[in-house]
Amino acid sequence: MSILTVSRQFGAGGRTLGKLVARRMEYTLVDEDIVGMIAERARVSDNWVRSIEKEAGGSLLRFMNYIVSPRYINRILVDTRGYIDEEVYVNTLYEVINEIARENNSVIVGRGGQYVLRDHPDAFHVLLIANLNDRIRFMINNYQLKEEQATTVIRVREKRRVNLYRKFGKENYNQPELYNMVLNMSRLSMDKAVDIVCTMLRSVER
d(CA 3, CA 125): 8
For the chain, what's the residue count? Answer: 206
User: Which helix (DSSP H) or strand (DSSP E) does residue 125 occupy?
Assistant: strand 123-129
The domain ranges of the chain are: 3-205
Distance CA 61, CA 75 (A): 18
Identify the residue with better confidence: 173 or 84: 84
Interatomic CA distance for residues 106 and 100, integer angstroms: 7
Query: If you classify domain 3-205 with CATH, what class do you get?
Result: alpha beta
Q: Could you give the CA distance from residue 38 to residue 99 in angstroms, rounded to a whole number?
A: 12
pLDDT tens for 114-157 read: 888 988 999 999 999 999 999 999 999 988 899 999 999 998 88
- For 62-122, the DSSP string reads GTGGGTT-HHHHHHHHH--SS---HHHHHHHHHHHHHHHHHHS-EEEESTTHHHHTTT-TT
What is the C-alpha to C-alpha distance for residues 77 and 42, in angstroms, rounded to an integer?
10
Query: In which band, very low, low, confident or very high, does the pLDDT at 166 lie, cut at 50, 70 and 90?
Result: low
Strand-pair category, 106-109 with 3-8: parallel
Cα 180 to Cα 27, 136, 146, 183: the distances in Å are: 19, 26, 34, 10
pLDDT for position 165: 59
- Please work out, in degrees rounded to the nearest 5, the angle formed at the alpha carbon of residue 2 by the alpha carbons of 104 and 77: 50
Q: Mind listing the pLDDT tens digit for each residue in 45-101?
A: 888 887 777 765 544 444 444 444 545 545 545 555 577 777 777 788 888 999 999
Residue 130, classed as helix, strand or coil, is coil
Concatenated DSSP letters of 16-28? HHHHHHHHHHTPE
- Cut 0.85: pTM above it: no
Cβ atoms of 190 and 17 within 8 Å: the answer is yes
